[in-house]
Amino acid sequence: MKKLFLMISIIFLCGALMALNPLTTNGSGEEEPAGHNLLTFVVPFEAGGGTDIFGRFFTPYFSDQLEGNPLVQVENIPGGASITGTNEYAQAKPKDGSHLLTSSASSHIPYMLDQSSVDYDFKGMKPIIGSPMGGVVYSTPEKAEQFKEDLTSFEEPLYYAGISPSGLDLVTLLSYEVLDLNFHGVLGYGGRGPSRVAFEQGESNLDYQTTSAYNNNVKPLVENGTAEPLYSLGQIDENGNLVRDPQFPELPTVEEVYIDQYGEAPTGEVWEAYKQMVNAAYTLNKVIWVHEDAPVESIARLQDGAEGIKQDADFIENAEVVLEGYEVLTGDALQKQIDEAFNVSDSSKNLIQAYLLEKYDLDITEL
């Protein structure tokens, strides 16, 4: 109850900041307040979503920790599932260290898969701070029991309600392919909230939710006997192995489910593609960046501030709720994670592009 109260308080605080902070802009091009000590967080989504809350959560800590205690504003530039705002940041925002970008898996996956509408390159940016996120796949208790006994026994497909095969859903879809699960994906829902409602109303019997949504909205369904978790999507460790999500240590990974069902570890291109997508979408879920060609002293100032944020007692306490207890990454550890996450092999990229085209009639190179 205390955790829920704290989460609600922080979300209301973010809303209050949006309403009361005159520095918050909406990407309309209106004149910004004058000043030499102003930092702008570009968020390529509407205000109020997960990435927006993530960015706003960090703003007071950057103000506190950075030398000079700058004013910090958030500029929301929604559109194109984050691509519009990310493109604008890369191509049009000042490269003097005064503007930062808050990215998410919705920005990472199209970049990795060479989506044609992407006009940004994360190699031209310097990461400042990042954070993982997790996800859990669940079903009805009846289907979960059958899944655990023999996941190949489904004569009728399980129905999965999703948003887009080229977004965060891609990781979950690939997990089904690794397991050779008989499923039918119904895509086009407006968000993970509507997809969960579809499950609750019986329109689907297979769903996933990210950590926060699962804990707040699905665990009550598990407790009242209308849902049961199947596995977590997992995290990628420093050795490139899929491991259990630290926030769901009781749940098996896709690899463990596969071994239990088939008696051997998964191998092959689909398995490798799945692990690479987990790395880019969950182990590296959100990142705050600055232009790489910003002044060296500006980058150093931001990096020093990020290190200070990690040690801030108030941040540590509130991050347990907002960031769901996942450890934030900075410095060399963050750069190493990015290098590994975005290093998708040509074979995995080609496989995913072909998969999207064949199964969902989606040519990502033409989007």
User: Is the sign of the CA dihedral 74, 291, 79, 136 positive or negative?
Assistant: negative
**Rounded CA gap, 345 and 298, in Å?**
33
Q: What residues form DSSP beta bridges with 100?
A: 41, 290
The 10 Å Cβ neighbour count of residue 353 is 18
Burial of 326 per CB tally in 10 Å (0-12, 13-18, 19+): buried
End-to-end CA distance of the chain: give it in Å, rounded: 44
Looking up tokens 């004569």, which residue turns up? 155
All CATH 3.40.190.150 domain ranges in the chain, comma separated: 2-132+284-341
Q: Say yes or no: domain 135-280 is CATH 3.40.190.10.
A: yes
CATH class of the structural domain 2-132+284-341: alpha beta
Q: Mind giving me the DSSP string for 138-197?
A: EE-HHHHHHHHH-TT--SSPEEEE-S-TTTTHHHHHHHHHHHT--EEEE---SSHHHHHH
- DSSP-derived secondary structure letter, 124: G
All CATH 3.40.190.10 domain ranges in the chain, comma separated: 135-280
Asked whether the beta carbons of 133 and 301 are under 8 A apart, the reply is: no
Per residue of the chain (367 residues), give pLDDT as tens: 444 444 445 444 455 444 434 344 444 444 443 334 899 999 998 898 888 989 999 999 999 999 899 999 999 999 888 999 999 999 999 999 999 999 999 899 999 999 999 999 999 999 999 999 999 999 999 999 999 999 999 999 999 999 889 889 999 999 999 999 999 999 988 888 899 999 999 999 999 999 988 998 999 999 999 999 999 999 999 889 999 999 999 999 999 999 999 999 999 999 999 999 999 999 999 999 999 999 999 999 999 999 999 999 999 999 999 999 999 999 999 999 999 999 999 999 999 999 999 999 999 988 7
Asked whether the beta carbons of 289 and 101 are under 8 A apart, the reply is: yes
